Structure 1
Amino acid sequence: MTFRQFAFNNIIRSKRTYLAHFLSSTFAIMIFFTYALLAFHPNLQGDLTASVTINTFAKSGLQISQGLIFFFSFFFILYSVSAFLKTRKKDFGILMLHGMSRSQLNKLVFIEN
């Protein structure tokens, strides 16, 4: 069994954990991408010309909102990865007891993600 086959078998064995991790990460990325798509849409860039003040406030509001969404999405994904790794802690411990090195464990987590 190769290392990639071992990683694939781990994914198949714990598919509920991987599904939850994948869906939470996908949700955070989808929210950020949807907002960025609306913030940079060409039709919305020039249509706020009713007043210079409204245009300035709208652009700065969109930029601040996008920064906040990026910040929360980043930490949500980090939290999701942390929760995912905590559920796999026992599996990693067993692998380490059987002689897996730290670099091999990091490689396994990288391939699985």
Structure 2
Amino acid sequence: MTSLTLYHNPRCSKSRQALKLLEERGCDFHVRRYLDDPLSREELAALAARLDADVAELVRTGDSDWKALQLTAPSTDDYLDALAEHPRLLQRPLLDRGDRAVIGRPPATILALVDAS
């Protein structure tokens, strides 16, 4: 099985649900608490490239930190810069297999990546 990393915020119910799903499946995975160990801009760019989604979907645009940035028509660089500066803006949970990543909204979405490992 390919190595899995769960980008996790224990205060988030969806993130806790994803963690529980992985544990119930008996998956071998690493937990990265991204608020304690933030991703670098380079790691964020690589993660975004592995998503089956636009980089904008990595950002919690309803968050007050995002709104405070007052960006109009943000570019990919704007999104990555915002995530690097404000880690709490990172959408969660995220599961990364190294070659592909998914946003766990809803949490069961991560199972497609687990089953494909």
What TM-score does the superposition give when structure 2 sets the normalisation length? 0.23
* Structure with a larger share of its residues in helix: 1
What TM-score does the superposition give when structure 1 sets the normalisation length? 0.23
Higher RCO (CA < 8 A, seq sep 6+): 1
- State which structure, 1 or 2, has the greater radius of gyration over its C-alpha atoms: 1
